[in-house]
C-alpha cells in the first residue's frame, strides 16, 4: 500500500506517488493501493498524478485502488467526472484524517 503522508497531493507529492507506483510495478505488484485517508488537499497536478498512475497500472494489467477515500476527494473526482474511472473504498468518516 502506498500512503500519501503530507496531507496533500500536489506537484511534489504527486511525483513521489508516481515513482512509488512505478517501483511497485517494477517489483511485480499485482495490485497497487493508495491510502488517501490523510488527504486534505488535491490540486490539479495531484489529480493528474492519480490519473497517470491509474493509466500506467492498467497498461500493465495491474489493479489500481484508492483506499479511505474521503468525502472531499470523492467530490473532486465526481466534479471532474473521474469517480467512475477509479476503484475506491470510502472512508467511514466524513473527511476525517487517518494516519498512514
Does 95 reside within a domain? no
11: Cα within 13 Å, side-chain hemisphere: 0
Q: Is the pLDDT of residue 92 over 70?
A: no
Asked if 41 and 73 count as a contact pair (C-beta separation under 8 A), the reply is no
Does 98 reside within a domain? no
pLDDT of residue 91: 60
Highest mean pLDDT: which range of 4-13, 60-69, 90-99? 60-69
What is the pLDDT confidence band of residue 97, given thresholds at 50, 70 and 90? Answer: very low
Asked if 64 and 29 count as a contact pair (C-beta separation under 8 A), the reply is no
Does 31 reside within a domain? yes
- The CATH number given to whatever domain includes residue 33 is 3.30.750.24
What is the three-class DSSP state of 32? Answer: strand
Which residues constitute the domain of residue 45? Answer: 2-90
Does 67 reside within a domain? yes
Distance CA 37, CA 22 (A): 21
Domain count, the chain: 1
Does 100 reside within a domain? no
What strands, in cross-sheet order, belong to the sheet with 2-3? 2-3, 31-35, 63-69, 87-90
What is the pLDDT confidence band of residue 6, given thresholds at 50, 70 and 90? Answer: confident
Q: Name the residue among 82, 28, 92, 36 with its Cα closest to residue 60.
A: 28
Q: Is the pLDDT of residue 5 over 80?
A: no
Does 65 reside within a domain? yes
45-79 pLDDT, tens digit each? 999 999 999 999 999 999 999 999 988 899 999 99
Amino acid at each position: 500500500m502506498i500512503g500519501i503522508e503530507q496531507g496533500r497531493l500536489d506537484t511534489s507529492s504527486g511525483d513521489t506517488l508516481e515513482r512509488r507506483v512505478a517501483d511497485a510495478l517494477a517489483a511485480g505488484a499485482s495490485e497497487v493501493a493508495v491510502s488517501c485517508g490523510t488527504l486534505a488537499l488535491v490540486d490539479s497536478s495531484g489529480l493528474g498524478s492519480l490519473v497517470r498512475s491509474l493509466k500506467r497500472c492498467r497498461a500493465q494489467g495491474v489493479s489500481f485502488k484508492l483506499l479511505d477515500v474521503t468525502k472531499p476527494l470523492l467530490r473532486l473526482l465526481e466534479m471532474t467526472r473521474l469517480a467512475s474511472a477509479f476503484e475506491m473504498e470510502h472512508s467511514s468518516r466524513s473527511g476525517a484524517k487517518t494516519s498512514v
